[in-house]
Chains A and B, each alone.
Chain A
């Protein structure tokens, strides 16, 4: 493994003290564990920024009148909230989890391309800061929503070449390049760097789900890039690809956009399914129910994800036969996801359940996911979709998926692997407080959006009819609660990382290659490559996982 010996870097230090030095997190490190934490922490910063945008919006919506911010500022806020949450928080934080966990879960010393890995990470702060700085250009940042549909997105009211939309397109493209680099790296690592004995059906489900998600990045992202390039040409170089008055076709952009951006939801949630599958067996002390089926269903989701995108366009003049086709394929997605849900319930069923913070977040995430799955089936049905199109029902649905299921899973994952990443144990009381604030906040914030949508309140408005006021006040209180919930989390993470008690190598008595390593693992992870002899999740079986590692 000559490739992973970065001679210039401090991680070559042999003493344990220096291994823990915080400086390496600010360096161009090629250690996948450092990069993983760099990703997660950077992404969390952007999560806070976009969260502040959300709270300004909820502050605006606590009264029916547009009294807090200007309407154009409101447009900019919801655009950048969605954009930064997805490109600045979701994709990077998941790349961070994949980076940290995949090599130690498959018994590799590092990723396949460590330098490419570092380059991909350092693009994240670049495009993230571009998004934020676009508030400073004349005319403000992009205001066409995170989907950036033409003709709204190509208006360019200031007439300057350097406008918010231009920066948005550039930053999204850089984010795409970074994600493709990450995807090439992760897929190559999983397919070619597994340790001896690590056959397909000995891989933890998290690795399966990351593979399934990254394959989506590889075939989906280029379509968005193509659409973004054409939109940039329309915006800045006078072409008319999406201008119907000049023979262009604005719906084509929607196809390019959703061909990636619907599967992107699976890019985000698949690894969280993986986290659920890792967490439930540990805290229920039982093997994962139906391991092989859960693993393979991830790849089935990947396949189906490529043929559902038009369900975002039922109201875009889509012909009837196409609507039926995509309604059917969309409903099919509930089969592999339903399999997973039943497998998790089967895992918990009759287990010796420990309600530690990771388990609480996983259970909360599972409940929210089932709820969002039900509204998802409702939305896939054409008549309902057309009725609630562009209302708060849709907003409520996808926030239940993205916040209720994905962010819960991520929090659960952070708590679960925090002792492994830092060698310290977090404070359980603060963790539980964080969970309950988050769960109550999520319910208060996003549940009222469903009745609002059914009543007909449109999304992306700064003012509304006073009859909607009651539910909006509830939602706003929930949003502020969610904002507050990050305070105990941050206090917990920072203080226990600095001064928490030592966690030991395997505080959860979990089974998995990563738990056989020291906490935190050494630079090259494994002194000697493990030889895996057992399936994962062997709880209650008392068989060794490897031949040579205890």
Chain B
């Protein structure tokens, strides 16, 4: 074996070692994403249970609306829905910018998503204040506040996660080796969005 051959062998060995190291690194991020998807699937069963409960109540309760309540106003929640659903596209744009290593583009659209989410929560708070029924106004009031409240809690969690990811983007080297946190937060945001669409149809459209 000549010395050049040996050097080449050495180089190949080094390369393969690096490849394995990268694979491991990749695997850990892959594991995290895989686990997170499983978690979201599991979490969705809580919502499914609430939805199933809502449908049972809605179809079997004789006096569905509490006395003095005509129904729910659809206009404001519809605007809110449009904003939340659009924010799913905005967060996708933010992710693309990060993918292209454009951190400022990422931060701008990421912050915009947070603003839209916050506006959604604000709109919901305003709606809650204007309502003439409370949490304990029969199963109508109970399911309404349970569903919107539990979903709102998820929106709030999403905004918190987004805040953490935004702060992390200012710390150096955080998004060099993959960005599992950003991808997971974004996936969570889409999840919250889809849940809201089902919820909106069930509660507001189907009256």
Contacts and interface: CB of A to CB of B under 8 A. Distances in A.
Interface in B44-68: 44-46, 48-50, 53, 56-57, 60-63
B138 A240 contact: yes
Nearest to B44: A222
Interface string A237-258: 1111100001111001000100
A191 B49 CA distance: 27
B82 interface: no
Contacts of A252: 53, 56-57
B53 A246 contact: no
Contact of A180 (B24, B42, B44, B61): B42
Interface in B133-189: 135-136, 138-143, 146, 150
A187 B37 CA distance: 12
Contact of A239 (B50, B60, B136): B136
Contacts of B46: 222-223, 225-226
Contacts of A246: 138-139
A241 B34 contact: no
B125 interface: no
Interface stretch (B25-33, B109-117, B190-198): B25-33
Contacts of A2: 24, 28
Contacts of B150: 229
B contact face: mostly helix, strand, loop, or mixed: helix
A448 B97 CA distance: 71
A113 B27 CA distance: 12
Contacts of A221: 42
A339 B106 CA distance: 56
A223 B56 CA distance: 15
Given A188-B31, A240-B136, A256 B24 contact: no
Given A222-B43, A223-B45, A246-B138, A241 B53 contact: yes
Identify the interface centre among B49, B63, B136, B140: most chain A CB within 10 Å of its CB.
B49
B8 interface: no
Contacts of A230: 53, 142, 146
Nearest to A225: B46
Contact of A240 (B44, B56, B139): B139
Given A180-B42, A218-B38, A247 B49 contact: no
Given A222-B42, A223-B45, A237 B136 contact: yes
Contacts of B35: 112-113, 184-185, 187-188
A-B residue pairs, 6 tightest by C-beta = A226-B49, A222-B45, A238-B136, A239-B142, A222-B46, A218-B42
Given A191-B34, A252-B53, A259-B49, 11 more contacts: A112-B31, A188-B35, A222-B42, A222-B43, A222-B49, A230-B142, A238-B136, A239-B135, A239-B141, A247-B57, A252-B56
22 contacts: A2-B24, A180-B39, A188-B31, A188-B35, A188-B38, A192-B31, A218-B45, A219-B41, A219-B45, A222-B43, A222-B44, A222-B48, A222-B49, A223-B45, A237-B135, A237-B136, A238-B135, A239-B146, A241-B142, A241-B143, A247-B139, A256-B49
Interface of B: 24, 27-28, 30-32, 34-35, 38-39, 41-46, 48-50, 53, 56-57, 60-63, 135-136, 138-143, 146, 150
